Structure formats: C-alpha cells, structure tokens
Amino acid sequence: MSLFDIERPSYAYDPRRGIRFSEEERRSLTIAVIVLTFCFAVAFSSNGLFDLLARISQKGFLSRFVITLLTSFIAVLTAFVLHEMGHKVVANHYGYPAAFSYSRNGLIFAAVISLFLGVLFAAPGAVIIYGMPSKRENGIISLAGPLTNLLVAMVFGIIFVFAFFFSFTFGIGSILANIAFIVTTINIFIGAFNMIPIGILDGAKILRWNKIAYFILLMFFLPGIIIIFII
C-alpha cells in the first residue's frame, strides 16, 4: 500500500433518490475538513507548531488566528469539498454510485508537515466511483473538479476586487478582501495542480478523453497563476 492509499467505502446508491451521503461518507468529509482546516490555519499563520506557540502571547494574535481559522474553513469547503462533490455529482448524473473516502495516511502526513514545517501539502482522500465509466464519462467526471475550482475562484476573485476597492477607498472590507484573496488563490492552485496530466490526477483523465477540453480549461487557469505570482 502507498502512503496515500484510500480505503474503499461501502456505499448504497439508488438513482431515484438523487445525491445521497451515507453516514460513513459524512464522517469521512467531516474528518478531512477538520484536519485540513487546522493544517491550513497553521500554515497560513506560522512556520509550524513551535512558531505558533511562540506567537500566542503576541498582542492580537489569537484574534488573527480565529480569522485565519475561518478563512481556512472557507478555503477547505470551496477548494476541497466542492471539488470532490463536483466529481460525485457528475458521476451520479451518469448513474454511477460515488462516495468520498478520506486517506488516513494522507491526513496524518498533511498534519505532520504543517505542524513541524509550516508547509501545506494535502492528499486528504478522493471520491471513489463504483462502476466502469467510459473514457468520455471518466474525462467529464474528472473535469468537474478543476472546473468547480475555477468557477469558485472567479466568484471570490470578483468579491476580492470589490472588497479591495472598498478597503482602499473607504477603509472598510480589508478582512473580506484578505479572505477572498486567499480562497481565490487556494482554488486556483488546487484546480491547476489537479490539471497536471500525470498519474491519477484529473488532468491525465481529461487529456485522455479530450485534448481540446484539457487545454481550454488549462488556459483559464494560467492567467490566475500568473496574477498570483505577480501579486
């Protein structure tokens, strides 16, 4: 077994009942969201656990950390959960049962490097699809994840622009602008990372299905990546 092997969850699916979440899947999502939120918050606010503990006594740090936790929670929900739910919804649309399952080893690895190195790297799990989708179906199911990240990034990018304008002009909205910028950035990075056409990443499956669709979606991510590095 590799470090990030994912346990195949049990799942009952009835297409007449629409999208359903089993207790096991809800538990997997909850665990992944809690761990990732904390990892994101530590990585965003410090250089690791020891640095975090050293900063606790600083004036205003706890209030800033609470805001960082909120930002991390929103980032995880939009960049990670919605990405995975994009896969699940489209798989269900094609009639395939699909359920998210967390990777215990992946979450432990993410927690360890964020706590001790202050670096963010997450392989929290994946949506397991039951059945044998065709190359086209598999490509579209895979495309749904990065596409969701792109749409979320566009929405929060617009929020950032307006919040930054109000912050710069009227002195209000700086917290919202910061949250929107981080959420936009995380969604762009996760979506773009998943577009890498190697291994089990979404990009490899999209490219096998339709090269034109792959490069069109990739071109939408590139300006965001460039802008982020410039800023």
Residues known to be catalytic? 84
| CB distance 218 to 195 below 8 Å | yes
| CB distance 125 to 28 below 8 Å | yes
Give the H or E element holding residue 14: none
Q: How far is CA 218 from CA 120, 145, 168, 197, 202, in A?
A: 23, 13, 32, 11, 12
Nearest Cα residue to 10 out of 96, 93, 80, 98: 98
Q: In the structure encoding, which two tokens stand for residue 196, read together?
A: 């890498």
